[in-house]
Amino acid sequence: MPVGCFRRKRLRMRGTGRRLPGWLPSLLVSAGLILLFFLLLSRQLRPLIRTMAVSKATNLVSEVSAAAVDDTLAQLGADYASFVTVTTDGEGSVSSLTGNTRANARFQRLVVERVVNRLEHIDPDELSIPLGTLSGWLFLSGLGPEIRVSLQTVGDVTASFRSSFSSAGVNQTLHKIDLTLAVSVYLVIPGELVQVTVEQAVPVAETVIVGEVPDTYVQMLPQGDGLQTE
């Protein structure tokens, strides 16, 4: 075979490479524009997602705190006399109110343990936000794929008693006992970690004192003995 023919044949073979489909550049540009659109949309929606996630978490923590107090009261069968010892004088008038410190400390501990345990077992779906809800249109609320929001960790949980007195009528005083719970949690939402702290006073017990309020009143717990877990 002549040498010239062989060279021409080899050159033809080299020149038969495949070309890119004509539609591929358009597809890549479209994909890039779609990606850019979703990035911009995500940036615009992030503050709204954060606000809604914090609101849902706040409500959830409040419900858990109140339920923990109610369940502990039911478990112990506790009432006002469980937290405060009332002492009367010879005429039947209230002379002193004394906090039952040991029983009160146990109550605090049980409530805090319940709060922590329940928050650590929260179903992620309880905090997720349907995409339709972010649209602001009522008929889309609760619809569409969900944006996942999870409660990653439980931070500090503190509990402390608060006692207050208020008038309940002629020569009558309402003594009210609340348990103030401060709960910190961390939320994982797309692109960031958000800390949420919820403080709530939950009613524990109350009674009406007839006559003058005694000058002697012992605190619910020794000074500085608020309960805290980490």
Q: What are the structure tokens assigned to 178, written together?
A: 């609340």
| Structure tokens given for 43 | 């940036």
Q: Please name which of 157, 175, 153 lies closest in space to residue 68, comparing C-alpha atoms.
A: 157
pLDDT at 150: 78
The yes-or-no verdict on residue 11 having pLDDT over 50 is: no
Q: Is residue 216 part of a domain?
A: yes
- Tell me, what amino acid is at 81? A
Is 108 among the domain residues? yes
Total number of domains constituting the chain: 1
In a domain, 78, yes or no: yes
176 is a domain residue:
yes
Q: Does any domain span residue 12? A: no
Confidence (pTM): 0.71
Query: Which residue range forms the structural domain that includes residue 109?
Result: 45-220
Asked if residue 197 is part of any domain, the answer here is yes
* In a domain? residue 32: no
| pLDDT tens digits, 64-113 | 999 999 999 999 999 999 999 888 877 777 777 888 889 999 999 999 99
Q: Which of these, 196, 197, 198, 179, lies nearest to 187 by C-alpha position?
A: 196
Share of the chain above pLDDT 70, in %: 64
Q: Is 5 within the bounds of a domain?
A: no
Q: Which of 49-63, 118-132, 140-154 has the lowest mean pLDDT?
A: 140-154
- pLDDT of 61 over the 80 cut: yes
Who contacts 165 (Cβ-Cβ below 8 Å, separation ≥6)?
A: 173, 174, 175, 176, 213
